[in-house]
Amino acid sequence: MPCRIFVWVARMKICQVEGTLVATARIGSLENRRLLVVKERGSSGKQVAVDPVGCKPGDWVIAVGSSAARDAAGSKDYPSDLTIVGIIDYWDDSSGKAGAQ
């Protein structure tokens, strides 16, 4: 049953590193960069991110999408649309929970 809803799409995202993804048959421009499986805060959905920062499983990170993901991964031609740009120390959360720890 189709319905219409209004959604707010997360852009600069708070997510947590789950583990590594191995893909040996890949296009040349992906090079041998490290690919991680990440999970967003408050959901069980998983996706793939390029990691130029050097994260370990369990880290909370900020990831960017769209064309920003390409420069962040190293060059305007890199075929990423989700790249980690920083590891979160903590954040303010109005609900009173200390974030990321």
Map the footprint of a second copy across residues 19-78, applying CB under 8 A. 19-27, 29-30, 35, 37, 39-50, 52-54, 57, 62, 64-72, 77-78
Count the neighbouring beta carbons within 10 Å of the beta carbon of residue 78: 19
* Residue 101 near a second copy by CB under 8 A: no
Closest distance between a second copy and the C-beta of residue 4, in Å? 5
Closest distance between a second copy and the C-beta of residue 46, in Å? 7
Q: Which residues contact 97 (CB under 8 A, 6 or more apart)?
A: none
How many positions of this chain bind a second copy (CB under 8 A)?
Answer: 72
Closest distance between a second copy and the C-beta of residue 23, in Å? 4
Distances (CA, A) of 47 to 6, 17, 36, 80: 23, 10, 8, 12
Cβ contact 34:51 at 8 Å: yes
Q: Which of 34, 56, 93, 96 is close enough to bind a second copy by CB under 8 A?
A: 93
